[in-house]
């Protein structure tokens, strides 16, 4: 398929998924896109990027989604977050890969679905959509892309080559009054607003936040008319019993589990402080199992806190092990992103909620007031920074 070739006529090769991260990668975006494919239940062909240099590999996750993946092309090269040269390469090599997939599939695709974080996915999907006008494009946003969780604007230069110009002209045709963006991170939002047939947001606050700061009212309105709010899907129920992983637990203790990495905007400070505020006999009955990317660092941070033996640092586990362990814990802990002072609303929905929700295990949500997480049906709830509230929850858990 040549870059300048525009095909018409009814496509019939099914659905193409463009996902910079996809199974077997353990990147969060890869896991969520695999769950989207599982939830939809539609066979797909996939074009993705090799992320082995920046994330792990999980054969169990790949095996879980494999029955629905007809063909997958994994592009090589070093991944990069938002550099235009890397995005341009992904678009060019991705189109070549799609051409090979179309030959195997027997025609152009009826649908293309892409997901970002990792902005390159939307650029390739948009290019395919423009070259294949009969293919319906569904573009999903994991989070706001133009701004970080800390409220800072992301910036990478948008290119000035032929591909960049063609994509810009597609945006400009939808709003002729718009001036050309010079930032990849703005363009990756404007492009789906202007071209996609459906725009997916994971929650209502995210949709309102992103469309609210868009500098094109025409594109924001177009996106709103075509928008869908669809939270991260839970994996199928059978996935929770595919692993034989067993939780190490002590008799007579209540096991709380946390799975995830720690960021400046997402930590467990109030939970540590709450554990320290409990009576010694109460702490003795609690074990907080923390499955994280660097348990050695966490163990070092715990030295001298009195929480050694209560908070148990654990290595990250493969996805299927995580799902099975989630069913063995007494409570699962999930924390919101901290956005107070940087955002008018909290537009983030932790993807772990969807995994936790499918486990059947009670969930403790430490949320920011007014956030999406704060309104979900968690068994236990407290607020970010509220140590007294966390103490209350821990005592409720002990009393259950």
Hey, is 199 helix, strand or coil?
A: strand
CA–CA gap between residue 356 and residue 334 (Å, rounded): 9
pTM assigned to the model? 0.94
Query: Does residue 102 contact residue 70 with C-beta atoms inside 8 Å?
Result: no
Query: Does residue 247 contact residue 329 with C-beta atoms inside 8 Å?
Result: yes
Query: What beta strand segments (E) does 170-263 contain?
Result: 198-201, 227-229, 254-259
The DSSP element (H or E) to which 380 belongs, if any, is strand 380-383
Query: Does residue 256 contact residue 363 with C-beta atoms inside 8 Å?
Result: no
> What is the architecture of the domain spanning 237-399?
3-Layer(aba) Sandwich (3.40)
What pLDDT score was predicted for residue 12? 58
Query: Does residue 276 contact residue 306 with C-beta atoms inside 8 Å?
Result: yes
Query: Does residue 332 contact residue 326 with C-beta atoms inside 8 Å?
Result: yes
Contact residues for 72 (Cβ-Cβ < 8 A; gap 6+): 22, 45, 46, 47, 48
What pLDDT score was predicted for residue 2? 35
What pLDDT score was predicted for residue 326? 98
**How buried is 205 (Cβ within 10 angstroms: 0-12 exposed, 13-18 middle, 19+ buried)?**
buried
Q: Which two tokens stand for residue 250?
A: 């002590």
Query: Does residue 316 contact residue 297 with C-beta atoms inside 8 Å?
Result: no
From residue 266, give the alpha-carbon distance in Å to each of 2, 246, 387: 45, 27, 15
Instruction: Tell me the pLDDT of the chain (400 aa) as tens digits.
Output: 333 344 443 445 799 999 999 999 999 999 999 999 999 999 999 999 999 999 999 999 999 999 999 999 999 999 998 999 999 999 999 999 999 999 999 999 999 999 998 999 999 999 999 999 999 999 999 999 999 999 999 999 999 999 999 999 999 999 999 999 999 999 999 999 999 999 999 999 999 999 999 999 999 999 999 999 999 999 999 999 999 999 999 999 999 999 988 655 566 889 999 999 999 999 999 999 999 988 999 899 889 989 999 999 999 999 999 999 999 999 999 999 999 989 999 999 999 999 999 999 999 999 999 999 999 999 999 999 999 999 999 999 999 8
Of 110, 147, 130, nearest to 192 by C-alpha is: 130
> Which CATH number among 3.40.50.2000, 3.30.420.40, 3.90.700.10, 2.60.120.330 corresponds to the domain 15-229?
3.40.50.2000
Query: Does residue 129 contact residue 103 with C-beta atoms inside 8 Å?
Result: no
Q: Which two tokens stand for residue 231?
A: 């939270």
> 15-229 and 237-399: same fold?
yes
> Domain residues of the chain, as ranges?
15-229, 237-399
What pLDDT score was predicted for residue 31? 97
Could you give the maximum distance between any two Cα atoms of the chain, in Å?
Answer: 72
From residue 319, give the alpha-carbon distance in Å to each of 61, 91, 158, 176, 225: 6, 29, 35, 46, 36
What pLDDT score was predicted for residue 10? 41
What pLDDT score was predicted for residue 17? 98
CA–CA gap between residue 207 and residue 227 (Å, rounded): 8
């Amino acid at each position: 398929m040549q870059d300048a070739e525009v095909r018409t006529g009814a496509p019939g090769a099914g659905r193409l998924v463009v996902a910079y991260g996809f199974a077997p990668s353990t990147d969060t975006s890869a896991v969520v896109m695999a769950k989207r494919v599982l939830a939809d239940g539609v066979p797909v062909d996939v074009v993705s990027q090799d992320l082995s240099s920046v994330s792990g590999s999980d054969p169990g996750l790949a095996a879980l989604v494999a029955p629905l993946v007809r063909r997958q092309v994994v592009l090589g090269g070093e991944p990069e977050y938002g550099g235009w040269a890397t995005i341009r390469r992904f678009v060019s090599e991705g189109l070549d890969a799609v051409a090979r997939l179309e030959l195997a599939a027997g025609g152009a695709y009826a649908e293309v679905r892409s997901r970002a974080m990792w902005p390159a996915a939307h650029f390739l999907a948009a290019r395919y959509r423009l070259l294949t006008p009969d293919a319906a494009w569904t573009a999903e946003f994991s989070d706001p892309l133009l701004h970080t969780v800390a409220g800072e604007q992301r910036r990478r230069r948008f290119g000035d080559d032929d591909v960049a110009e063609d994509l810009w002209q597609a945006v400009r045709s939808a709003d002729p009054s718009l001036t050309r963006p010079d930032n990849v991170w703005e363009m990756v939002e404007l492009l789906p607003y202007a071209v996609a047939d459906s725009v997916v947001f994971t929650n209502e606050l995210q949709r309102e936040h992103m469309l609210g700061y868009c500098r094109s009212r025409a594109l924001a309105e177009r996106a709103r008319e075509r928008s869908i709010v669809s939270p991260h899907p839970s994996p199928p129920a059978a996935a929770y019993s595919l692993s034989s992983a067993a939780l190490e637990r002590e008799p007579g203790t209540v096991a709380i589990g946390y799975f995830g990495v720690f960021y400046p905007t997402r930590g467990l400070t109030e939970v540590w402080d709450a554990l320290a505020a409990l009576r010694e006999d109460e702490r003795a009955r609690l074990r907080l199992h923390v499955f994280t990317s660097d348990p050695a660092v966490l163990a070092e941070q715990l030295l001298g806190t009195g929480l050694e033996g209560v908070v148990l640092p654990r290595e990250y586990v493969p996805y299927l092990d995580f799902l099975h362990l989630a069913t063995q814990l007494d409570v699962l802990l999930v924390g919101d992103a901290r956005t107070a002072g940087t955002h008018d609303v909290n537009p983030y929905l932790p993807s772990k909620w969807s995994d936790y929700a499918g486990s059947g295990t009670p969930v403790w949500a430490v949320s920011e007031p007014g956030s999406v997480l704060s309104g979900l049906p968690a068994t236990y709830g407290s607020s970010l920074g509220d140590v007294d509230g966390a103490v209350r929850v821990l005592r409720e858990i002990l009393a259950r």
